[in-house]
Structure 1
Amino acid sequence: MRFFSLLLLGGSLVMPVHAADAQNWLNRLLKAEKQQSFQGTFVYERNGSFSTHAIWHQAGQVGESRERLLKLDGAPVEVVRVGGRLQCGSNALADQLFEGEPWPPRPLDPQKLAEWYEVRMAGESRVAGRAAVVLTILPRDQYRYGFELHLDRETALPLKFLLLNEKGQLLERFQFTRLDTSATLAKDELEPGPSCRPVEILQAAEPKPGAWRSEWLPPGFTLRGMHAQPSPISGETITYLMYGDGLARFSVFIEPLHGALVEDARSQLGPTVAVSKRMSTADGDMMVTVIGEIPLGTAERIALSMRAGEAQADR
């Protein structure tokens, strides 16, 4: 699930408050996603809009876990993942994807990660009728968001996940309303429905080394991957760069304009921001777009820092 991937922080963060307890709960969280099967329903909230979802998760060895998500209200949307990779999806979810992992695994440096976040034990709560412990993950600067995580006391599964801005305002929420960790999952509960179309995997071309670089990155963010793919609309080759700090992530898209009249733009929907800036290069005008769950000001500064060249900022 999305909140699992966001919160896999690695094995040994340095935490100044209740360090041993917080360390223990994070280690349990890491194990829970790999070892604990479950089913339930959860509510997702973003930008004041709510939706309800059912989930079935069958734990397994690496590459063998299976997960099915089904939206229960509004337009039907279904997703099935096998081994963490999207197998099928409804509507646009089944459109073109890159071949290979979009966010390649990279060993985390716990000491470095602790420079950008502070993890604290924050008390206890009760979610979906289950006792929970509360952890806060607080940024040490203005370039990323903070998190609040409610972990099931019995299994360490996330019962509630809140994404908060610099003012402590809610940007995004996942919250279970029912969680069952005892029932054996039936095979048909994990099988996709007729509207879940197989994903079409595209071969992603590798761009020229040093084709693009950022002159400024938020401290702790590094380049995690770089690809090139044809635009499904214009057919032009889009360069796609992926950055992360071990917890937060954002992407940068660079597309040639070929004389098209496109204005700069900025928008935010819940936690997700999109900033587009027109840029002149030796190869003509380009549109640089930054998309991610980072503050709007951070995204704008990143977009303005992109350059065609050799060196890559890596902090």
Structure 2
Amino acid sequence: MRVMPLFVVLGGWLSMPAFAAEADVLMQRLADAEKKQSYQGTFVYERNGSFSTHAVWQLVNEQQLNERFLQLDGPAAEVVLLNGKIQCASEDMASQVREVTPWRQQQLEPELLSKWYNFQVIGESRVAGRPTVALAVRPRDQHRYGFELHLDRETSLPLKSLLLDESGQLLERFQFTHFAPGSVAAAEVKGGADCKAVSVPAGQVDPASTQWRSDWLPDGFQLIDSSVRPSPASQESVTWLAYGDGIARVSVFVEPLGGAVVEDARSQMGPTVAVSKRISTAGGDVMVTVIGEIPLGTAERIALSMRSGVDQAPQ
């Protein structure tokens, strides 16, 4: 099970004044909606031809955002978050969430987002028995994917999200089948007996002290988090960097090879790509792996752009 970010915060513009005014109102409501409203519901997640069903509870109380996700079919899986940071997870989930440091919350800036995406109101719809308005989110370049979002008319929360590739083909679907805004009991956002505490990996450093950098990123992408921690397979340390544009996110892992012989690799499963490139540096060869929901070509270009502090970018 992959815990997907449920809600995407957008901003945009339209050429027609009446629709532009509506889009501005929707933009502001959406920017404020996710972290200020309590709700519960059930949603379906589709990726790479497979489906799963999940229950979700969100409780906003005294400046705290409590979330709980429970997989309802297939292997039992559960995760609980507080203010966006993972607190506990079931055993299957715990082995996954320990591999990546929880995301820091990005500052949402709708006006900046509109530089990288074009937003259009495309009509009315109905999801989980509730009236919604549909927004098309189209990237302004080839380095990110587009979305179709269906926003609840009452709460402005997305009840349906379709992730689309460059040709408009569906990569991922998130859709509520039941949605109930309003009060949520504190007991409903507490993990069950199989939800085990998840510790933050040791060895984290401030992003400013990380020696690795990217010499090329798509417009709008910025470093939002980083850490350095011991490799589970060697005595070397692995550097992790996270980049985002406010919607799309990508992780970069840099691991010294220590003389090991490895091959470049690339793969894609649904919207998620993974690209690994062997790069030579003044300190020895490293393997750079880029993972994210971005086009393969973009991931490869980011991987090849990674430089350490002692290396200079090629002229």
| Structure 1 residues 259 and 163: CA distance shift in structure 2, 3 A | same
CA–CA distance in structure 2, aligned partners of residues 276 and 137 of structure 1: 29
Give the CA RMSD over aligned residues: 2.4
State whether residues 267 and 275 of structure 1, in contact with CA within 8 Å, keep that contact through their aligned partners in structure 2.
yes
Counterparts in 2 of 1:235 and 1:210: CA distance versus 1, 3 Å: closer
**2:297 corresponds to:** 297
Contact 2:241 2:252 in 1 (8 A): yes
SS at match of 2:32: helix
The verdict on how the C-alpha distance between 1:208 and 1:13 changes in structure 2, with shifts beyond 3 A counting, is closer
What residue in structure 1 maps to residue 195 of structure 2? 196
**Aligned ranges for residues 101-112 of structure 1 at < 5 Å?**
102-106=103-107, 108=109, 110-112=110-112
Unpaired runs of 5+ residues, structure 1, are none
Contact 1:213 1:312 in 2 (8 A): no
Is 1:181 matched with 2:184? no
Cα distance in 1 for partners of 2:289, 2:264 equals: 9
| Whole-Å separation in 2 of the counterparts to 1:312 and 1:92 | 42
List per-residue Cα deviations over 1:71-103 (Å, max 9, x = no partner): 00000000111222211011253353677x633
Q: Does 1:220 pair with 2:211?
A: no
- Secondary structure of the 1:194 match is coil
**Cα pair 2:77 2:92 within 8 Å, conserved:** no
Q: Aligned with 2:176: secondary structure?
A: strand
Structure 2 Cα separation of the partners of residues 120 and 227 of structure 1: 37
The answer for unaligned runs of 5 or more in structure 2 is none
Whole-angstrom distance in 1 between the partners of 2:188 and 2:312: 46
Per-residue deviation at 1:260?
Answer: 1.2
1:125-274 aligned at under 5 Å gives the runs 125-182=125-182, 184-206=183-205, 209=209, 211-274=211-274
Partners of 2:244 and 2:229 lie apart in 1 by 20
Judging changes above 3 Å, is the alpha-carbon distance between structure 1 residues 235 and 177 closer, same or farther for their aligned structure 2 residues? farther
Per-residue deviation at 1:111?
4.4
Of all paired residues, the percent bearing the same amino acid is 56
Looking at structure 1, the residues matched to 261 and 216 of structure 2 have their Cα atoms a distance apart, in angstroms, of 27
Match of 1:68 in 2: 68
Distance 1:298 1:86, change over 3 A: same
Q: Aligned letter for 1:283?
A: G
Taking the TM superposition and a 5 Å limit, the aligned residue runs for 1:106-121 are 106=107, 108=109, 110-121=110-121
Which stretch shows the higher mean deviation, 17-26 or 69-78? Answer: 17-26
2:59 maps to what in 1? 58
**CA–CA distance in 2 between the matches of 1:190 and 1:312?**
49
Name the SS for the 1:70 alignment partner.
strand
For residue 200 of structure 1, give the secondary structure of its aligned residue in structure 2. Answer: coil
Q: How many residues align?
A: 306
Provide the rounded CA distance (Å) in 1 between the counterparts of 2:250 and 2:129: 35
User: What does residue range 278-293 of structure 1 map to in structure 2 within 5 Å?
Assistant: 278-293=278-293
Contact 1:13 1:113 in 2 (8 A): yes
| Contact 1:98–1:204 (CA under 8 A) maintained in structure 2 | no
5 Å matches for 1:80-119? Answer: 80-95=80-95, 96=98, 102-106=103-107, 108=109, 110-119=110-119
Amino acid at match of 2:283: D
Q: Bigger shift: 171-180 or 213-222?
A: 213-222
Taking structure 1 as the reference length, the TM-score comes to 0.89
